[in-house]
Amino acid sequence: GAVVSQHPSWVICKSGTSVKIECRSLDFQATTMFWYRQFPKQSLMLMATSNEGSKATYEQGVEKDKFLINHASLTLSTLTVTSAHPEDSSFYICSAGGLAGADEQFFGPGTRLTVL
C-alpha cells in the first residue's frame, strides 16, 4: 500500500509557458499532500502543503501565484508552474502521508522539469 504516482515523469518546456504536474495516491485517500523541490546534488525542500478542499499553505519564499496548487480530490493534487523560467528547472516531488495518524510520508517518483 501507500503508492503515490506522478505525471509526467519529465517535461521540457519553453520559457514563459505553464506546466502542470499531477500527483495521485493510488491505494489510499490523502487529505494532505506535500510538494517538494530538489535541485541537483541538494536535499528536498518543502514548497507547500496541499489540503483537499482548501487553499494550499506555502513555505516562506515560495510564490503562491507562480506555483499554483489544486487539491481537487482525496487522491489528486496538481502543481502548476506558471510562466516557467530556466531557474524553475528542478526535480519536483510530491508526497502523501498521515496514514493512521503516523508521520511517515510516501513519495511519488518525481517530475524532472527542464525550462529552455
Partner 1 sequence: GQQLNQSPQSMFIQEGEDVSMNCTSSSIFNTWLWYKQDPGEGPVLLIALYKAGELTSNGRLTAQFGITRKDSFLNISASIPSDVGIYFCASGGGADGLTFGKGTHLIIQP
Residues near partner 1, by CB under 8 A: 4, 6, 32, 34, 36, 42-46, 49, 59-60, 91, 93, 95, 97-98, 101-110, 112
Alpha-carbon distance values, 44 to 65, 87, 102, 115 (Å): 21, 16, 20, 19
**Phi, psi angle pair for 92, to nearest 5°:** -105, 125
CB of 97 to partner 1, least distance (A): 6
* β-bridge mates for residue 111, sequence order: 92
Question: Which residue number, 6 or 75, has a Cβ lying nearer to partner 1?
Answer: 6
CB of 16 to partner 1, least distance (A): 26
CB of 47 to partner 1, least distance (A): 8
Residue 49 burial by Cβ neighbours in a 10 Å radius (0-12, 13-18, 19+): middle
Question: Which residue number, 78 or 97, has a Cβ lying nearer to partner 1?
Answer: 97
Question: Which residue number, 46 or 68, has a Cβ lying nearer to partner 1?
Answer: 46
Q: Are 97 and 32 contacting, i.e. CB atoms less than 8 angstroms apart?
A: yes
Residue 36 burial by Cβ neighbours in a 10 Å radius (0-12, 13-18, 19+): buried
CB of 23 to partner 1, least distance (A): 10
Question: Which residue number, 2 or 16, has a Cβ lying nearer to partner 1?
Answer: 2
